Every structure is written in C-alpha cells, then in structure tokens.
Chains A and B, each alone.
Chain A
Amino acid sequence: MANFKRKDLVKQGAIWAFIVAELIFFSIAGEFLSVSEKAFMDFDNMLLLLKQSAPIGIIAVGMTIIMVNGNIDLSVGATFALAAIVLLDSMTWPFMQAMGNWAIPLAWLFALATGVILGAINGLIVWKTGVDAFIVTLGSMLGYRGLVFIYNGEQPTSHLNWTLVDFAEAQFLGLHTATWFLLGVVLLCWLLMTRTVHGRNAYAIGNNREAAVNAGIRVGPHFLWNFMLIGFLAALSAVVFYSESGSVNPNDGMLYELWAITAVVLGGTKLSGGYGSIISTLGGVIAIQLLRKGLGHIGADTETVNLVIGLILIAVLFLDRQLNRKGKEELRT
C-alpha cells in the first residue's frame, strides 16, 4: 500500500519537477542566450504566463474530467469559437444595446448557454446512440465549425466594449482577471472530482464501466453532465479571452482541442480513463506555456516550440509506460 502511494506521489510530482527543471534551464540558458535584458524568472513575466495559460487551461480542466470518464472531446475548439461569436455579436443586438452595461452579464449568459447546449448535444448523442465519443465529437467539431462560418461567413466578428475590456484587464491582488478565472475553475473542479459523489463516479466509470453500471451508477446522465460541463468551460474560456480582445475570427480556437489534450496527457491523465488529476493538468498547462515563453526567451524560433512539445509528449508517453510496466512486473513477482 505504501508502495502504491509512493508511486502515485512520483507521478503527481513529475510534472512539477519538470516545470522546475524548465525554470532552471531557461534561467541559466537565458543568461547566455537571451536578447532581452530582463531575467526569465521575472515576477511580471510569471504573472503574464499564468494569464496566457488561462484560455487553454480552463478547457484542459474540463478535458481532464472527460478523459477520466474514458471519453474525449475534440469539439472544444469549435465550441470556443461559437461561444465567442455569440458573446460579441449579442452585444450588438438592438435590445441589448438599449440596456447599456447591463448587456454584459446577459451576453455572458448567452455565450455560456451556447457552450452548455453544444456540450449537451454531444453528451446526448454519446448517451443515446452509444457511438464512441471520439467519433461523435470529431463529427461535431466539423459541424460546430460549420455553424461558426454560417453565422458570419469568413468575416471576423468584432465588438469592443470598454467596460468589458477594463474588467478583463483589471488586476485583483496582483493577478489578472483571467488568472482568477483559471484558478477558480481549477479549485472548483478539483473539489468536484475529489470531494463529491459525482467525482468518485467519474473515476469509477473510467476505471471499469461494467462494474460501475453494476454498482448502480447511471452512466448515461453522468456523461451528459460532463459534456455539458466541458461545453460550459469552453464557453467560459471564450468569455474570458474575448472580453479583452473584442474580435473573433472564424478560425479561432482551431487545434485548441489538441493543445488541451496535450496538457492533460502531460499531467499524467490516462487516455483509457479512471486516472487523472485536475492539479496535475494545471501543471501540464503551465509546463507548455513555460516552454513556449522560454524558447522565445532564449531566442529560439517560435516554430521549434511545436517540434519540442510534440517530442516531449511522445517522450512522456514512453516514460509513463516504462514506469507502469515496471510497476506491473513488481506486482507479479
């Protein structure tokens, strides 16, 4: 038992050790290679890093829950874009403009509702048809992206509301608004997954769906709730990001699903389900963002980031399997 716990600790700690290693590497390498005067470990730089992690981070938290369930969601990028369009476009509707600044919470509500509905569609299809979530969300990734384009053609949708921009750029206790949203989502979802029946059921279903069904867990509605949750989080991510930028291109959010999945896998969540932690996912998100910033800091081409992240993802997969296999062999002897 103690052995099992120690192994868990090693796994949970691995991503944070990786982050520390990144920090040390980029700080030292930055001394010799950096073009800028500022140190990499600059406090403001780190705050900015958290803020920039928020859009992918919020989605990745939802993806963790979906993947603990043993499902996957490829449609989050398109959901993100559609929610963003609803957010910005709804503020230009005549009755909304008449409401002045009260239109803002209403626009948020519309955007978040969009996300929940899109998630619910995915969840219902997975539940009722029994088609694998990978295929369902692969299809809706195309379908939702189609809706984005139908909404406003290939034109960007723009609406800048200065009250909203002020809110998004505000700093409370030194942290940006986006950072607070990220931390809040991480905290709430961590509580959800570790302290509630819903969370325990999520792990149980991912571990062994048959057994979960036999134990009386209603798997279908459970899936539906989780897909609604990730739809909500994708929309929330859009709300946080586009409140500040005020303009959305129909191609925005493309490949976000891949970034989110990468972060979740770096955080040690199993694709087969039943294992994973929200906090480790946060680590994965930060690690990726740190890598992006760090490589830029030491003057590497931004292009190499993709190369490095891809190879690291494969390396993590390899190491993880070696670690697991070793554990199994010990069990056998």
Chain B
Amino acid sequence: MAELTKKSIGGFLAKQGILVAFLVFMVVFAIANPRFIDIDNISGVIRSSAILGVMALGVTFVVIGGNLDLSVGSMMSFSTIVVLDLHDKIGPALAIPGMFAMTLCLGAFIGFLVGYLKLNSLIVTLGMLSAIHGLTLTYSGGQNMDIADKQNTWFDFFGQGSMLGIPVPILIFALLAAGLSLVLSKTPFGRKVYAVGGNGTAATFSGIPRARVVFMTYILSSFCVATAGLIQASRSLGSQNTVGQGLELEVLAAVILGGASLLGGSGTVFKTVIGVLILGFIQNGLLLMGLAFYAQYVVTWVIIILAVWLDIAAKRGRLWSPIA
C-alpha cells in the first residue's frame, strides 16, 4: 500500500511536475521578495511574455504533430516589418489583413514542403529561417521601419491598449490560448494532430490525411506568428529587421518546458502556457532578487534539462540513462 502511494505520487509528479515546479518557484520568489506577487508586476510579466507565448501556441501544434519550426523568429520579424510598411502605404485597416495573408503564404510554403513533400522539418525550417531573414532584408532594404505619424493612429491598440482594464496583448494571448486549447482537445482536427505525431504510419493506415494535418499545423503556426508580429509592431510602432532573431529557440524552450515531446504526440496548449509563464516569471523573479539579467539564461538551461530529464526518467522508470 505504501508503495502504491509512493508510485501514485511519483506518477502525479511525472504528469503534473511542471505545474508543481511552477508553484514552487512562485512561492520561493514571493517569499524572497513580496513585490513579486504584486498585481502590477504579474500583469507586467504576462504582458511581456505575450509575444513569445502567442508564437509558442502555434509551435505547440507543430511539435505535437511530430515536426519542428525554427523559422518562427525570422517570420515574426517579417510580419512586423511588413505590417509597419503597409501601415503607411495603405492604412492600418488594410495593412493587417495584408500582412496576415503574406505570413500565411510563408506558412503554407513550409507546410507544403514538410507535409506534402515530406522533407525533414528541421532542415526545411532552418533553411526558411535564413530565407525569410533575407526576404525581410530585401523587403525593407536593410532599413529600420517606422510609422511616420505615431500620434494619430489607432494601430497602437494591439500592443499598448487595454480593454476592461486588461492589457490587450494579455487578452489576445488568453483568447488565442483558450481557442486553440479547445481546437486541440475537442475537435477531430486536434485528435488527428496527436495521431499523426504519435505514430504517423498508424495514422496513415487509419485513413488520416497526414500531409494535410501537418500542412494545417504550419498554417496555424504562421497565423500565431502573424499575431505576435502584430502585437510587436503595435507595441513599438517601429522595428529593426532582426526583432525576432533567436526567438525560435526560446519558443521551443517554452514548448519543451511545458512537456511536449520533440518526438511528437504529446503536449497540451495549457502546459505550453505554463512553460511560457515559467520562463517569464523566472526572468522577473531573478531580476527582483538582484541577480544579473543574464543569469536567467543559465537558470533556464538547468530547468529545461531537469524538466526533460525527469520526464523521461519517470517514463523509463529509472533516473540514469541505459546508454552503455
């Protein structure tokens, strides 16, 4: 009986470990510095995590489908630059759908390569990282992009505005997370994504259109990237060409931290949100404790390794790997 309890506690920790870790972190930081649980501080952290978070939502679908997306960072730069450029040329009301259309085209191209041509997603998105970066630079001519008249535009609503007292970026992040969570857990499409990522061959034999499902995950990812680009552009009303550089790996770190396996077939939107929030709050908590800003990188490293290690250790039933 005692062993059963031990097992079930272990099982619970393995399943909800990331949530437990999150709560432990929050408590420790709150004790260390009461300002940490100040409502302004919390809302500030979530707001600055929103861009990363929105991108991570889309990548969650791609990863559950058994693929990777390393191109989201440079794609976000692209959509930010494009929407800022179009804003002055055709006005914000047309610029936003225009930018979404262009970003979705890029997503469709990647989805076509990975889904229908069945090319390795790591290399394809690596290539697209470079290609989209080049595209952005060619589009902008290497110049920074700024909105001419920053005072008289309603475009800053998405990044700086607030509704019902809640900052709009948080609202977008929350709504998108809720919507995509429903899509993933309650719709046939969501089940298909799990099936394709869990066992692609079996999925094909059960009549699931594998290529189309993978294609759709990339479309979804590029939609999220476009949303993130919109928030970024609206928040700063001007941007460098490299605004999203390096974000692809932070996004992936958040998704992995949330417990999605890179092999596909596991992970949830909720866990990814927790992963994003952990990254955000650790960064904030360490700063409040007076540690150097960059210490968060080292801490993130340790946490990612520990999270994934404990996850697979629980699955195989032993701590150390069986590699000879």
Contacts and interface: CB of A to CB of B under 8 A. Distances in A.
Interface string B7-46: 0000000000000000000000000000000000000000
Interface string A195-214: 00000000000000000010
Interface stretch (B49-57, B130-138, B160-168, B197-205): B130-138
A268 B96 CA distance: 41
A308 B134 CA distance: 8
Nearest to A300: B138
Contacts of A31: none
Contacts of B294: 145-146, 149-150
Interface in A53-68: none
B288 interface: no
A129 B306 CA distance: 9
A301 interface: yes
B120 interface: yes
Contact of B138 (A128, A140, A153, A304): A304
Interface in B233-261: 245-246, 249-250, 252-253, 256
A132 B130 contact: no
A130 B312 contact: yes
Contacts of A74: 249
Contact of B321 (A130, A134, A265, A313): A130
Interface stretch (A44-52, A96-104, A106-114, A314-322): A314-322
B302 A307 contact: no
Contact of B324 (A144, A219, A261, A301): A219
Contacts of B128: 310, 314
A317 B301 contact: no
B183 interface: no
A143 B301 CA distance: 5
A127 B320 CA distance: 9
Nearest to A141: B249
A120 to B, nearest CB: 15
Contacts of B323: 127, 130, 219-220, 223
B324 A258 contact: no
A7 interface: no
Interface string B126-146: 111111111101100010000
B114 to A, nearest CB: 10
A142 interface: yes
Q: Interface of chain A, helix or strand or loop or mixed?
A: helix
Given A145-B297, A254-B246, A262-B126, A220 B324 contact: yes
Nearest to B132: A310
Contact of A303 (B119, B138, B253, B305): B138
Contacts of B130: 258, 262, 306-307, 309-310, 313
A136 interface: yes
Interface residues on B, range: 35 or more
B95 interface: no
A128 B304 contact: no
B262 interface: yes
Nearest to B137: A303
Contacts of B123: 265, 271, 313-314, 317
Nearest to A325: B118
Interface string B287-322: 000001111111011101100110011001000111
B137 A142 contact: no
Q: Which of B128, B297, B309 lies at the interface centre, i.e. has the most chain A CB atoms within 10 A of its CB?
A: B297
Interface string A130-173: 11101110111111111101100100000000000000000000
B131 A306 contact: yes
A33 interface: no
Given A258-B129, A303-B134, A306-B131, A135 B256 contact: yes
Contacts of B305: 125, 129, 131, 135-136, 139
A74 B256 CA distance: 16
Contacts of A317: 119-120, 123-124, 127
Contact of A271 (B120, B296, B300, B304): B120
B300 A139 contact: yes
A218 interface: yes
Contacts of B302: 139, 143
Interface string A207-231: 0000001000111100100000000
A130 B322 contact: yes
A187 interface: no
A150 B295 contact: yes
A311 interface: yes
A307 B131 contact: yes
Contacts of B301: 139-140, 142-144, 146
B2 interface: no
Contact of A139 (B132, B133, B253, B293): B253
A38 B254 CA distance: 50
A74 B137 CA distance: 25
A19 interface: no
A305 interface: yes
Interface string B110-126: 00010001111011101
Given A131-B312, A138-B256, 5 more contacts: A142-B304, A146-B294, A147-B298, A149-B292, A311-B131
15 contacts: A74-B249, A135-B304, A138-B304, A139-B301, A149-B294, A150-B292, A150-B294, A220-B324, A261-B126, A306-B134, A309-B134, A310-B128, A310-B130, A317-B123, A318-B117
Interface of B: 113, 117-120, 122-124, 126-135, 137-138, 142, 245-246, 249-250, 252-253, 256, 262, 292-298, 300-302, 304-305, 308-309, 312-313, 316, 320-324
Interface of A: 74, 125, 127-132, 134-136, 138-147, 149-150, 153, 213, 217-220, 223, 254-255, 258, 261-262, 265, 271, 301, 303-314, 317-318, 321
Please provide the 8 A-B residue pairs with the shortest distance between their CB atoms, ordered closest to farther.
A130-B321, A146-B297, A143-B301, A310-B131, A307-B134, A306-B134, A303-B137, A149-B294
